Amino acid sequence: MTNLEKYNNAFCESFHIGEDCLPGLVYQSIDAWDSVGHMTLVAALEDAFDIMMDTDDIIDLSSYEKGKEILKKYLVVI
């Protein structure tokens, strides 16, 4: 599985949405991406890439696109 597939899976499984919803997806734009959903997403990303995200990055993770940028800090290239 590629990093992009892992990344997309984390979003799709956390929020029960299809890949077609991912581009442009931002925090709180759908019901499932509330604060609890956010932490589910973080857990899914941490599991998928075997990382432990800093709190600042968790707060900054405000969109599907922003997440890709943040993961670069953890040497994960999407």
Bridge partner list, 23: none
**CB-nearer residue toward other proteins: 1 or 52:** 52
Could you say whether residue 9 binds other proteins (CB under 8 A)?
A: no
Q: Which of 37, 19, 20 is nearest to 28 (CA)?
A: 37
Residue 54 token pair: 């800093």
Using the rule CB under 8 A, which residue among 16, 23, 31, 35 binds other proteins? 35
Nearest to other proteins of 47, 65 (CB atom): 47
Q: Is 55 in the site for other proteins (CB under 8 A)?
A: yes
Q: Give the integer Cα–Cα distance in Å for 4 and 64.
A: 11
Q: Give Cα 46 to chain centroid, integer Å.
A: 9
Residue numbers at the binding site for other proteins (CB under 8 A): 35-36, 39-40, 42-43, 46-47, 52, 54-55
